Amino acid sequence: MTDYSLKLNQCIAVLPDIRSISGNYPDITYNKVAFDSRKIQPGSIYVALAGINVDGHDFIQHAIQKGACAVIGTKDMPSELAVPYIRVADARLAMAWASAALYRFPSNEMVMIGVTGTDGKTTTSTYLYNILREAGFKASLISTVSAVIDDQEIDTGFHVTTPESPDIQHYLAEMRDAGVTHAVCEVTSHGLAQQRVAAIDFDIAVVTNITHEHLDYHNSREAYFAAKGILFQNLGKKDRATKPLAVLNVDDPDSYNFLKKITTVRKVSYSASGELQNAVSRIESIVSSPSGLKADVVFKNLQGISGETKIPVTTNLLGIYNGSNLLAAMTAAIYGLGVSPETAAKGIAAVQSIPGRMEVIDYEQNFTAIVDFAHTPNALKQALDSARAMLVQNQETGAEANRIIAIFGSAGLRDREKRRMMPRVSIKNADITILTAEDPRTEPLSDILSDMVDAAIQDGAVLNKNVFIEPDRRDAIRLGIAMAKPGDIVISCGKGHEQSMCFGTTEFPWDDRTAMKAALCEFLHLEGPDMPYLPDKDHYLDKL
């Protein structure tokens, strides 16, 4: 990894909306940008962020004591600091530009593809990354699961979000230095609203869908849509070698109509439902099975080809909804980068699995156990619909098939409406619902579960008949397995690939896949992994 440093004056020259500068010296250089004073090293710029619960301005002196060479903030300082202080209108925006400048704006030397949406971002990004590799591009990927740089997968420790701007610019610099030509980045609404990708010029923007999520942060549906829209509004603002393109989902009319209006560059749309209006690509037919999907995909208006081109596409990933994700990725690659449909199909087929996405845990038990990341009402419905399709497929082949047992919770200190919506989805689309813990944070778990079970009962569920409460997620998974009959599907949703669960203010190591494996091995009397630890019920898991 190259060691980077830059003159502070060169950084100041690119920072947007500077209000004042004090104590600057022309020979100062910086080698890092950080917003956590505990991570400051000598030569760092400290960025004081005014958060909801913590104000970074309160830690300026601590940052200086640890070696900060300059400070960026938004507040007037009561007295002169020992280092330069740059007051700006937006500290997060300034942090993004200071980070990009330090690493010499790496995104300018690569084709940048951003994938956003409520559900399906990681899968679509992974599909697209594999298509680019199949097409011969040297490609890299940044997703909520990991970063892949020069064939090396890096555990980034992300907790379901786009990295902060110093981290994402660091990864992009590593990509650029490794000779990467194309970078696929999963971009969340938080990442857009908090300016984490502000200093990145994207060439292609892809949306999967925009449904109910993150209203605890954005406060309104309109603000959530506006955050997603930033990625599309910024397309084409600067001259780039790659012609800008927006890829829209005509099957999701709310996002389609909103983004179509605010996007000024070339637009193409796709339709997994087969909708022809406005769509350059569509799925003509699709079959779901326990081994994946098979689809016939149609493309029109291809360069140099009249009429329509139909090709077969297969994927190992489970879930009928992945038809939309694969189509989004193919459409971006074909119409944005000139990849052939045949090559795109090979890239789709190359994806073997994605951690925590309809991931089957198999110990040859007589029922199916699945771990999925579904943590929104729409994603839960899609996961349960896909599980139902698997049951139907089993029945058609003569196998015994029965029920769907869904296990999930709802995060504390987050969207309260969602915790009532998700049980209603499950009561309608699963046969048995088990409500449990999912990152309760500092909110009493009993309050969360009360809201969830009340919503389920209002929709006709009967407690201890088709809806159950088990606050301990370990025991909830055990309960689902114990209830399973031959041919059932037990699906644990909400955590997927994540590696921790938050109780109070502590992140405890947790992996739903390990927990499912441990519970299955206990049930089958096999050697297997230990069940992950969770805090004592008496302290955190208030039983109802």
pLDDT in tens, 386-419: 899 888 766 655 555 589 999 999 999 887 888 9
**496 labeled binding residue:** no
Rounded to an integer, what distance in angstroms lies between the CA atom of residue 359 and that of residue 266? Answer: 36
**428 labeled binding residue:** no
Reported pTM: 0.87
Give residue-wise pLDDT tens across range 465-498.
999 999 999 999 999 999 999 999 999 999 998 9
Measured CA to CA in angstroms, residue 209 lies from 69, 172, 248, 294 at distances of 43, 26, 9, 22
**37 labeled binding residue:** yes
Q: Which pair of structure tokens corresponds to residue 26?
A: 């022309």
**397 labeled binding residue:** no
Q: What angle do CA 150, 339, 279 make, to 5 degrees?
A: 125
Q: Are 52 and 219 in contact (CB under 8 A)?
A: no
**Residues 6 or more apart whose Cβ sits within 8 Å of residue 499:** 157, 509, 510, 511
Q: Are 311 and 345 in contact (CB under 8 A)?
A: yes
State the pLDDT confidence band at 227, using cuts at 50, 70 and 90: confident
**Of 543, 532, 533, the residue nearest 444 (C-alpha):** 543
Q: Give the helix ranges, DSSP H, for 80-153.
A: 91-102, 121-134
**156 labeled binding residue:** no
Lowest mean pLDDT among 82-86, 169-173, 214-218, 235-239: 214-218
Measured CA to CA in angstroms, residue 416 lies from 144, 253, 440, 443, 485 at distances of 23, 25, 12, 11, 34
**121 labeled binding residue:** yes
**Of 16, 215, 22, the residue nearest 100 (C-alpha):** 16
- Domains, the chain, with CATH or none: 6-102 (3.40.1390.10), 106-349 (3.40.1190.10), 359-540 (3.90.190.20)
Q: What angle do CA 110, 30, 166 make, to 5 degrees?
A: 45
**194 labeled binding residue:** yes
Q: What is the pLDDT of residue 544?
A: 41
Rounded to an integer, what distance in angstroms lies between the CA atom of residue 258 and that of residue 255? Answer: 5
**Of 63, 328, 111, the residue nearest 209 (C-alpha):** 328
The residue type found at 371 is: V
**117 labeled binding residue:** yes
**211 labeled binding residue:** no
